[in-house]
């Protein structure tokens, strides 16, 4: 959400509670997962591949094994709809 100065505020992603990536439920958690969580999950989810699918197609359309960095795959999922 941009504030009055147009600066994007850091905010927790609304998917935190149920997101398998954030909750360490994915098969191969990347070694950088902590950094990704800080950047995306509690920072800005705009560039998260999982969130791209979630906000475009809804929660049920997000592949279980899609990682936040797989933006191209997210776009393919979106384009296929």
Considering only residues 49 to 78 of the shown chain, the ones binding ligand SF4 according to CB under 6 A are 50-51, 54, 68
Nearest to 15 by CA among 39, 52, 51, 68: 51
Residue corresponding to tokens 């920072």: 43
Output the smallest distance, CB 25 to ligand SF4, in A: 11
21 makes contact with ligand SF4 (CB under 6 A)? yes
Q: How many Å apart are CA 3 and CA 75, to the nearest integer?
A: 28
Point out which residues bind ligand SF4 (CB under 6 A): 13, 15-16, 19, 21-22, 40-41, 45, 48, 50-51, 54, 68
């Amino acid at each position: 959400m941009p504030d009055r100065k147009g600066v994007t505020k850091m905010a927790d992603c609304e998917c935190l509670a149920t997101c398998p990536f954030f909750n360490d439920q994915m098969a191969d958690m990347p070694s950088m997962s902590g950094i990704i969580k800080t950047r995306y999950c509690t920072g800005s989810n705009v560039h998260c591949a999982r969130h791209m699918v979630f906000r475009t197609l809804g929660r049920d359309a997000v592949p279980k094994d899609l990682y936040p960095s797989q933006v191209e795959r997210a776009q393919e999922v979106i384009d296929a709809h």
